[in-house]
Structure 1
Amino acid sequence: MKVEYQNAQVFDGHKFVKQNFTVENGIFTAVGTNNQSADQTVDLTGYYVTPGLINAHTHITLAADPHYWDNKEQNAVTKTVLAIQNLKESLTVGVTFVRDVGSTEDVDLNLMKLHLSDLPGIVASGSALSMTGGHGAKGGLEVDGVDEARKGARTVLKKGAKNVKVMATGGVATPGETPYDVQLSEDEIRAAVVEAHHKGFPTAAHAQGTEGIKNAVRAGIDSVEHAIFMDDEAVKLMKQYGTVVVPTLVAPRAIYENPEELPYFMVKKARLVAKPHFASIQKLVQNGVPIAMGTDSGCPYDDFSHWVVNEMKMYQDAGMTPEQVLNSSTMVAAKLLRVEDRVGAVKENLAADFVVLKNNPLDNLSAFEQEIAVYHNGRQLVNRLEKAGD
């Protein structure tokens, strides 16, 4: 069936432009033209349309609610149920595509392969690579030395991973380590990066401390996740190598704003990193380093809906224009994930992932939590609008 959406204000990467677009078999088949052969028309006069949002840093097998696993057994089945719940929650604020950067039980890999029509698309990483006893080692794949890092990357790629995640530093949520701790070395990271790039897939590094960030950038990593402690040399390296940063600004914020039932060490570290983290992202924005939206959803209290909108708002607070924020959440993220030939824009021959909004998000990003309809592959999966939709 050909459905023509008429008179919409469509975000083109710079501004909203009034135009029609047609969806056929889940694909944009005509954008900016009238379709005389449409089987159905939907009038979107007064509504705003953006591409579906992309969250480039999620953990779909983690529960933001610290009590979620109380009296529940953790296994592949229960974690899959949780992952599906998390993915459906993502849809409610317009997220139609995610990158999972560290799953357990290969849940993200298996869900990605199923291509379930009522869930967001997934770029899956499978197990993240960490040093023995390092950050994320409990649920990841422990590797030590260049040969093991190479084999670890090959192992997750063999299982079907479309992204390789490495742990370059310690972190906030793990006891006994700090964000400054250098973990996988530059040479170990490079070995994993080479293997992923051979297959045409991107790589991501959990890197919070300055030296670990530089190691990851020099190793050719595609995106640095978190980037809490930046200096001028790190910024210069990122610009030289074309590195993208996925800030996850809300991850520590969600912790320190909910201290009552979390371990003291975690809350203390979250409070300590918050200001330098924000200052680092401001520095990156000022220097034109590409930013892709990602939230670390699944970490404590960091849910898959409300905190997505908060993340985007914090980019604006850090100096990005509303247009840049929307691009970071669509086109920039799509390019990072190497799926720009599938999603990321309202453009002919791309998947019809789009969001219809009553209110202009360039005026207030809260529009994504208000009156909204969400389409994935042309199917309406969320509708909180009074009239739009089919």
Structure 2
Amino acid sequence: MKISKTALALATLIAGLPLTSSFAADDVAKVQWLHCGNLIDTQEGEVLGQHYIKVSDNKITEVTTDKPASTSLIDLSDKTCLPGLMDMHVHLDGEMSPTAYVEGFTLNPADLAYRAHEYGMRTLLAGFTTVRNPGDSYNVTISLRNAINQGWVDGPRIYSAGKSLASTGGHADPTNGVNADLMGNPGPKQGVVNSVDDAKKAVRQRYKEGADFIKVTATGGVLSLAKSGQNPQFTIAELKAIIDTANDYGMHVAAHAHGKEGMLRAIEAGITSIEHGTYMDKEVMRAMKKHGTYYVPTVIAGKFVAEKAEIDGFFPEIVRPKARAVGPQIQNTFAEAYDYGVKIAFGTDSGVSAHGDNAKEFVYMVEAGMPAMAAIQSATVTSAELLGNDQIGVIAEGKLADIIAVDGNPVEDITLLQNIEFVMKDGKIYKK
């Protein structure tokens, strides 16, 4: 009888195994115990005392005050543990610099992909285990998300919009500022929308390419090579077509918006979140509360562009007046929105400011009057709610094991979040 090579290999493998298994349950599933000096309950907004957290594979399977029998503990007894932080507005494929505008003509998609991975790791090691990427080039953050999810590379959990949707000449039109030969006539495939039909096609194209959500530039922007930073750039009908189509495909829609009218149109059309929101007033805030719209403020980006606008040559001249006007306003708007009771999710626009500096946003939020615990909740439970993911944002049995730790109590000193001592994402330790 002829034996196949496969059967022979299998028999050889079996012959090398013991007849009875002596594996314990904890050997089958990777089990880790964390000993935390303090634990932040983000759901209730409380700082609890000493706790032990059991992690099995990538899930939290027990949270207790009783010391476990296990002799192998990850000692965080002098630290405060809290869920992995989340940033709802990053751009991992780049970082603003005086050469950023030229790089659009000199860098290849692979260059951006390698940078995105590096910036993603800086973000993860800064304690941000989940990010939302509202706009990139060449869909590099969709590819990076896939590579991370499949275990090929490390990085934060990514929700990517792929290419943002713009109108012709609007913020995120990829041909703004280039010469006539290169300008062409981009359409829905390139993320440029000028009608209801365009809007539907552009959303479906993003779905086809694997986007998790949709980003629309409802008004002008600061860094685009165009004059206005705040004029409305979509009709209500176009916005509604984008949002309704995205909802059909199970995606939410985020709106970049600085000017009032563009925000009101987006909110009326059913937008999920307003990003930046620089010139929102009480009328906009009332509309946001009525519709349950989230606000992602990005104060650090405003600080950054206002500072760099005073450096000759850092920005093109068409950008500088917009940066000077918009930048200083965002923190004041954030303070008013918080006082008014608008739902706030944490976001930085990192990629404008440096990746890895995300936690500076907490300092600006607290400076503007938001209590430290509320700021932490904006980057945990509120962001999880915005994403529609109930497996993250809290440390509790059955949730994903995204856990970070800092020396001291960040509720008493929010600056401590700029120095993360321990990072675990999906049960894997990245910083210890």
Q: Do they fold alike, i.e. is TM over 0.5? A: yes
The answer to whether the 8 A contact 1:48-1:358 is kept is yes
Distance 1:7 1:100, change over 3 A: closer
Tell me the amino acid that sits aligned with residue 229 of structure 2: P
Which residues in structure 2 correspond to 1:1-390 (within 5 Å)? 1-13=30-42, 14-18=45-49, 19-32=51-64, 34=66, 36=68, 38=70, 40-67=72-99, 73-114=106-147, 115=149, 116=151, 118-138=154-174, 141-258=191-308, 259-260=310-311, 261-299=314-352, 302-306=353-357, 308-339=358-389, 341-370=390-419, 372-383=421-432
Q: Is the 8 Å Cα contact of residues 83 and 403 (structure 2) preserved in structure 1?
A: yes
* Contact 1:146/1:188, CA 8 A, preserved across alignment: yes
Aligned residue type for 2:82? T
Mapped partners of 1:286, 1:297: distance in 2: 25
Cα distance change on mapping 1:111 and 1:42 into 2, 3 Å: same
Is the 2:299–2:348 contact (alpha carbons within 8 Å) kept by the matching residues of 1? yes
Change (3 A) 1:37 1:124: farther
Q: Which amino acid aligns with 1:319?
A: G
Instruction: Give me the CA root mean square deviation.
Output: 2.0
For residues 142-183 of structure 1, the C-alpha deviation after alignment (integer angstroms, 9 at most, x for no partner) is: 011111101111110122111111110001112333222110
How many pairs does the alignment contain? 379
Identify if the C-alpha distance between structure 1 residues 67 and 364 changes in structure 2 by more than 3 Å, giving closer, same or farther.
farther
**Unaligned stretches of 5+ residues in structure 2:** 1-29, 176-189
The TM-score normalised by the length of structure 2 is 0.83
User: Which stretch shifts more, 367-376 or 258-267?
Assistant: 258-267
The residue type equivalent to 1:292 in the other structure is A
| SS across alignment from 2:369 | coil
Structure 1 residues 34, 157: CA separation in 2 closer, same or farther (over 3 Å shift)? farther
Would the aligned equivalents of 1:252 and 1:271 in 2 still touch at CA under 8 Å? Answer: no
Query: 1:45-87 deviations in whole A, cap 9, x for unaligned?
Result: 2210111111100111122344477799412211100100110
CA distance in 2, matches of 1:96, 1:17: 22
Question: Is contact 1:2–1:39 with CA below 8 Å preserved after alignment?
Answer: no
- Give the distance between the partners of 2:94 and 2:420, measured in 1 at CA: 28
Q: Is the 8 A contact 1:2 1:38 kept in 2?
A: no
| Contact residue 2 and residue 40 of structure 1 kept, 8 A | no
Q: Secondary structure at the match of 1:45?
A: strand
* Cα drift, residue 125 of structure 1: 0.5
CA distance in 1: counterparts of 2:342 and 2:105, whole angstroms: 43
How far, CA to CA, are the matches of 2:67 and 2:98 in structure 1?
50
Decide whether aligned partners of structure 1 residues 351 and 66 sit closer, same or farther in structure 2, where only a CA change above 3 A counts.
farther
For 1:98, give the aligned amino acid: V
State the 1:271 CA deviation: 1.9
Post-superposition Cα deviations, 1:205-226, rounded to whole Å, max 9, x if no partner, equal 0111000010111111100000
Once residues 220 and 129 of structure 1 are traced to their aligned partners in structure 2, the CA distance between those partners, rounded to angstroms, is: 16
CA contact (8 A) 2:89 2:298 kept: yes
Note if contact 1:201-1:338 (Cα within 8 Å) is conserved in structure 2. Answer: no
Cα displacement (A) at 1:370: 2.5
Match of 1:388 in 2: none
User: Structure 1-normalised TM-score?
Assistant: 0.92
Could you say what secondary structure the match of 2:415 adopts? helix
What is the Cα deviation at residue 30 of structure 1? 0.8
Distance in structure 2 (CA, Å) of the matches to 1:282 and 1:71:
36
CA–CA separation in structure 2 for the residues paired with 1:329 and 1:223: 15
CA contact (8 A) 2:303 2:328 kept: no
1-structure distance, mates of 2:246, 2:62: 35
One-letter amino acid of the counterpart of residue 16, structure 1:
V
Where structure 1 has 5 or more consecutive residues not aligned to the other structure, the ranges are 384-390
SS of corresponding position for 1:281: helix
Distance verdict in 2 for CA 1:17–1:248, change over 3 Å: same
* SS of equivalent to 2:344: coil
Radius of gyration: which is bigger?
A: 2
SS at match of 1:129: coil
Whole-angstrom CA distance in 1 between matches of 2:265 and 2:157? 31
- Structure 1 residues 39, 220: closer, same or farther in 2, change over 3 A? farther
Identity percentage of aligned residues: 29
* Contact 1:253–1:270 (CA under 8 A) maintained in structure 2: no
* Contact in 2 for aligned 1:130/1:143 (Cα 8 Å): yes
Farther off after superposition, 363-372 or 351-360? 363-372
- 1:35 Cα offset (Å): 7.2
Following the alignment from structure 1 to structure 2, what is the Cα–Cα distance between the partners of residues 64 and 350?
Answer: 36
The verdict on how the C-alpha distance between 1:213 and 1:376 changes in structure 2, with shifts beyond 3 A counting, is: same
